Amino acid sequence: MRRRTRRRRSRELVLLFLFIVFGLILHLCLPGPPPPQHAFAATPQHWRSEVERAHDAAAAVTRRQAPAVAREESITYGAPRPDAPAGPMELFTASGRFFPVVVIACDRTETLRNALTSLMAAGASAQDILVAQDGANSAVAAVVAEFGVAHKAKRPPLVPLDGAQHIARTYKFALTRAFEDVFPDAPAVIIVEDDLVVSKDFFDYFSAVAPALERDDSLFVASAWNDNGFAKHGDPGALRRTGWFPGLGWLLPRKLWETELHPQWPDGHWDHWMRSDEVARGRECVYPVVNRASHESEYGTFLDSWHDKRYFKTIVRQRSRFDWPSDAWRSVLRDVYEDRVRGLLAAAEHVASVDVAVKGSALATTTPLALWFDFEENDDAPPGAADAWAPPPFVCVSEPFDLWHESRRADHRGVHEVVGAAGRPVLLVKAPVAYDSLRPDGLTPLARSECPSVTWEDLGKEGY
């Protein structure tokens, strides 16, 4: 009896083993799930979900950060070195070369053609462009060949990923190839995506500002993009600093990539990661008042038609070549820049009313106007709260002055600079962050409770 029981158990174990082996063979032989559509070809519901995920990720980063005042005091950098010898980037451009370009491409042939046309018109050489293609679209390869671009790389296929992971890994692949294999002697590269069109002085701009990155440790990268670049009569030679990484056509120094970014590049939401305290470490980005790039695609992984029409199509790009002064970079060195901002505030007329500021901004005077406000963005609204998806309070001051509804975009230590209709300088100043000592005694900043209630529908966006 015991022998029969043992034989039966042995047969059962053999059958179980064979069943497991058969299952493994079947799993390996059957085709896996189809590769994901790139987000640019995804359904509207897909990109709407991706937009919400991006907002969630940004909110999570914000919640991990310390209060603004603590951030300002947490890291200090030595004084800029305006008279230091030229660094690798300055020497590179002084030799007559432009920084090479990495173009991130997927499956948009027409926008890629426009991007390459604008890069060539700005002076790029086909030898100094790497098109990093995400995928194997033959039409994209044909466009690259049409322009005689010397360098092309395809990212190897990966397991299905969400939009943020897909983009982050493509960037890491492209930048690794650029620095290690394609442009081994370049001290920096410029990164653009295939839906950007650049100005004729695009490369001149980066050559003009690169020396500041090498002489001021409180600077991080330089971008060709101004999130609030909507003014039709901006100063084409004016430069600004911001703690918000703009992306959208940006200069990445080799040293930053090799020593900081490459070793810890994230698996997703790389742009939010670039803006985190962990990476930026109190450093700021340089950008031009008048954009040196414009955006052509209406949809993307984290872009919908409302944002495109409101904040991208209305961007003003520099159309003619601007003759950048050889010392343009000095204006964004930390101490020079701070002296300028403090000088504007010291000379300003100070108000705490949006209506008064709007009327005052239309006056033809060179006396600056400073509107003070004191409220935070509502990223920390609890789940299910009535205003969890309401526009942030910053719309109270951003809407009348045609700025992004997100207060950190293009700001410098809580300050946004705009120009009134008659040319008057206007500063929107967050209190109390960096410049509260310059607020007149007795002036109470505008409070959130004094702002009208605004919904996304009021701003023209249905079903946010």
Q: How far is CA 73 from the centre of its chain?
A: 24
CB of 205 within 8 A of CB of 93? no
* Residue 459: C-alpha distances to residues 169, 188, 453 (Å): 34, 40, 11
Q: Which tokens is 267 given?
A: 């698996």
Element (H, E) at 153: strand 151-154
How many Å apart are CA 397 and CA 187, to the nearest integer? 41
Number of residues that this document lists for the chain: 464
**Torsions phi, psi of 272, nearest 5?**
-65, -40
Helices 44-64 and 163-177 cross at an angle (nearest 10°) of: 70
How many Å apart are CA 395 and CA 402, to the nearest integer? 9
Q: Which residues make Cβ contacts (< 8 Å) with residue 154, sequence separation at least 6?
A: 133, 134, 135, 136
Burial label, 420 (beta-carbon count in 10 A; 0-12, 13-18, 19+): buried
Q: How far is CA 407 from the centre of its chain?
A: 14
Catalytic one among 194, 271, 374, 411?
Answer: 271
Q: Which residue has the tokens 């008064």?
A: 356
- Where b means 16+ CB within 10 Å and e means fewer, 251-283 reads bbbbebbeeebeeebbebbbbbbbbbbebbebb
CB of 198 within 8 A of CB of 118? yes
**Residue 399 neighbours by CB distance under 10 Å:** 16
To the query of whether residue 271 is one of the catalytic residues in this protein, the response is: yes
How many Å apart are CA 185 and CA 178, to the nearest integer? 10
CB of 221 within 8 A of CB of 213? yes
Element (H, E) at 202: helix 202-215
How many Å apart are CA 153 and CA 178, to the nearest integer? 9
Which positions are annotated as active-site residues?
Answer: 271
